[in-house]
């Protein structure tokens, strides 16, 4: 029976959907069968991040309302096929169109079919959030190193624990090593100090993420991307491996040498 | 150069220190208002301990977070009915 993980944040725009897509693709590429569920009804986006927006026929609401069978609504990924599927959210309906009991039933069915079911939660703490967490076994909280995002993450951690989803794990997204070095951005230990939950990973701010989203292809298997590396490490940690955090503080001298060696510097 | 010297004398303190301080405080407020359960549990424990030493008016007891601009204090207002001669 598969594991159901909700990916949530409280604050919008911190990278929940990108994180869901990349963890999903990463776990699939490591040989797992993965189902991604977009629970953000009315504001769906996981489909475009994965580049599957043109293949949608049925959505989550069609499934719970019985307009189609579950399998008909699952969209196979371009790269991973049956090992990575998406259940898209309904775009033209209201957030409260799905009831928690229906979500629970749906998740129960999906966990029989997949090794991992990842639920991409909407921002906020209202109905959609409650729907997203109702069937989950574990939670991942995404934040950025900003005061507003960390504050909302704290609130979400409180709500998750109140809903008996204990020990949520944290992903710190969009870390900028140059700013951390200058003391102008909180680093892992600062955020750890404040939130006191297990840190699952740290993802550096990376322009390649924007390029990959433009293309509709996850970055997790791009060997040259630092963010891709960070997501690969997160996937291995989810599978129980001990992987050290990425060295984000780049050493200037080392970079200089690298450039010389690759013939870039003249 | 001035920038560098400035940083040297300030220590390595950037704006993140400020961020952390502000976050700490705002979270005390957030968590306090989020957890009436915690305050109730604290109240019960206080009653248990204090009752060993004195008789108090449990109904008139108030425990709350007092929020100032840059600090949060725990205040308890506990009416005492009588003080015991010895510890129970």
- Of residues B70 and A249, the one with the higher pLDDT is B70
Of A25-29, A190-194, B38-42, the range with the lowest mean pLDDT is B38-42
Residue B51 falls inside a structural domain: yes
Residue A256 has pLDDT above 70, yes or no: no
Q: In percent, how much of chain A has pLDDT > 90?
A: 88
Which of B7, B16, B35 shows the shortest C-beta gap to A186?
B16
Confidence band, pLDDT 50/70/90 cuts, at residue A266: very low
Work out the mean pLDDT of chain B and round it to a whole number.
81
Confidence band, pLDDT 50/70/90 cuts, at residue A44: very high
Please report the pLDDT score of residue A92 as a whole number.
Answer: 85
Sorted by where each begins, the domain ranges of chain A are 3-262
Residue B16 falls inside a structural domain: yes
DSSP-H helix ranges across B2-54: 2-10, 15-34, 36-50
- Check CB contact of B24 with chain A, cutoff 8 Å: yes
- How close is the nearest chain B Cα to the Cα of A183, in Å? 4
Q: For residue B56, what are its two tokens?
A: 């108090």
Residue A94 has pLDDT above 90, yes or no: no
Residue B36 falls inside a structural domain: yes
The top-scoring range by mean pLDDT among A111-125, B21-35, B54-68 is: A111-125
Q: What is the mean pLDDT of residues A221-239?
A: 96
Using an 8 Å Cβ cutoff, are A132 and A163 in contact? no
- Check CB contact of B79 with chain A, cutoff 8 Å: no
Residue B88 falls inside a structural domain: no
Number of folded domains in chain B?
Answer: 1
Residue B70 has pLDDT above 50, yes or no: yes
Pairwise CB contact (< 8 Å): A194 & B26: no
pLDDT digit string, tens, across residues B5-23: 555 555 557 899 999 999 9
Pairwise CB contact (< 8 Å): A184 & B20: no
Please report the pLDDT score of residue A252 as a whole number.
Answer: 58
Residue B30 falls inside a structural domain: yes
Residue A14 has pLDDT above 90, yes or no: yes
Confidence band, pLDDT 50/70/90 cuts, at residue A175: very high
Confidence band, pLDDT 50/70/90 cuts, at residue A265: very low
Q: At CB < 8 A and 24+ separation, what contacts does B17-26 make?
A: B17/A183, B19/A146, B19/A147, B19/A186, B20/A186, B20/A190, B20/A193, B20/A194, B22/A147, B23/A147, B23/A150, B23/A151, B23/A194, B24/A194, B25/B70, B25/B71, B25/B72, B26/A147, B26/A151
Residue B67 has pLDDT above 70, yes or no: yes
Q: A3-262: which CATH architecture?
A: 3-Layer(aba) Sandwich (3.40)
Q: Which of B14, B35, B36 to mutate to test the interface with A (most CBs of A within 10 A)?
A: B14
Residue B13 falls inside a structural domain: yes
Confidence band, pLDDT 50/70/90 cuts, at residue A96: confident
Q: Which of A154, A157, A160, A172 to mutate to test the interface with B (most CBs of B within 10 A)?
A: A154
Using an 8 Å Cβ cutoff, are A28 and A115 in contact? no
- Check CB contact of B41 with chain A, cutoff 8 Å: no
Residue in chain B nearest A180 by alpha carbon? B16
Residue A213 has pLDDT above 90, yes or no: yes
Please report the pLDDT score of residue A254 as a whole number.
Answer: 62
């Amino acid at each position: 029976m598969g594991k159901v993980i909700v990916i949530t944040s409280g604050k919008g725009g911190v990278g929940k959907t990108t994180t869901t897509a990349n963890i999903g693709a990463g776990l699939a590429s490591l040989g797992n069968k993965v189902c991604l569920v977009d629970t953000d009804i009315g504001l769906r986006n996981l489909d475009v991040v994965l580049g599957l927006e043109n293949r949608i026929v049925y959505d989550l609401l069609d499934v719970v309302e019985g307009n189609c069978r579950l399998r008909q609504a699952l969209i196979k990924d371009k790269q991973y096929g049956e090992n990575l599927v998406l259940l898209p959210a309904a775009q033209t309906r209201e957030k409260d169109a799905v009831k928690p009991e229906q979500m629970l039933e749906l998740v129960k069915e999906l966990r029989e079919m997949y090794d991992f079911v990842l639920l991409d939660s909407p921002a906020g703490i209202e109905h959609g959030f409650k729907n997203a967490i109702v069937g989950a076994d574990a939670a991942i909280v995404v934040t950025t190193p900003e005061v507003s995002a960390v504050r909302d993450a704290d609130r979400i951690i409180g709500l998750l624990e109140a809903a008996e989803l204990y020990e949520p794990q944290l992903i710190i997204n969009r870390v900028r090593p140059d700013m951390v070095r200058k003391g102008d951005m909180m680093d892992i230990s600062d955020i750890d100090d404040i939130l006191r939950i297990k840190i699952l990973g740290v993802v550096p701010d990376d322009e390649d993420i924007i390029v990959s989203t433009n293309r509709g292809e996850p970055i997790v298997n791009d060997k040259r991307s630092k963010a891709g590396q960070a997501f690969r490490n997160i996937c291995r940690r989810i599978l129980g491996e001990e992987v050290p955090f990425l060295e984000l503080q780049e050493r200037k001298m080392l970079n200089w040498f690298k450039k010389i060696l690759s013939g870039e510097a003249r | 150069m001035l920038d560098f010297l400035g940083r040297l004398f300030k220590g390595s303190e950037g704006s993140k220190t400020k961020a952390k301080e502000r976050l700490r405080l705002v979270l005390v407020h957030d968590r306090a208002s989020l957890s009436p359960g915690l305050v109730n549990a604290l109240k019960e424990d206080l009653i248990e301990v204090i009752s060993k030493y004195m008789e108090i008016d449990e109904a008139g007891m108030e425990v709350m977070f007092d929020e100032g601009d840059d600090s949060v204090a725990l205040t308890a207002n506990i009416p005492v009915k009588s003080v015991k001669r010895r510890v129970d």
